[in-house]
């Protein structure tokens, strides 16, 4: 449900990155007081189900902004 509003990602290297993992990365950075900095190389490849072809960087920012 949380990721339904994410934009579609139809190209580039981030298309198949795990949005749940990206969200958790952003959440962790915010809780630890770090500057928002999406690090796609640290995110696993997986976009099954509801997050298929969704924007992982947008998921990162969602996690970050909900927890800062």
For residue 34, pLDDT over 90 is answered with yes
pLDDT over threshold 90, residue 26: yes
More confident residue, 8 or 63: 63
| Cα–Cα distance for residue pair 28/64, rounded to 1 Å | 8
CA 49, CA 27: separation in Å to the nearest integer?
A: 21
The pTM of this model reads 0.87
**Residue with structure tokens 């139809």?**
10
Name the band, by pLDDT with cuts 50, 70 and 90, for residue 52: confident
Residue 64 · residue 36 · CB < 8 Å: yes
For residues 3 and 42, which has the higher predicted lDDT (pLDDT)?
Answer: 42
Q: How far apart are CA 44 and CA 24, in angstroms?
A: 12
Confidence of residue 14 (pLDDT cuts 50, 70, 90): low
**pLDDT tops 90 at residue 11:** no
């Amino acid at each position: 449900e949380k990721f339904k509003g994410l934009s579609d990602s139809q190209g580039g290297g981030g298309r198949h990155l795990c949005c749940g993992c990206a969200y958790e990365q952003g959440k962790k950075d915010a809780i630890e007081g770090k500057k928002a900095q999406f690090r796609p190389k640290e995110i696993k490849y997986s976009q099954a189900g509801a997050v298929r072809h969704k924007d992982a960087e947008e998921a990162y920012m969602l996690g970050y902004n909900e927890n800062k």
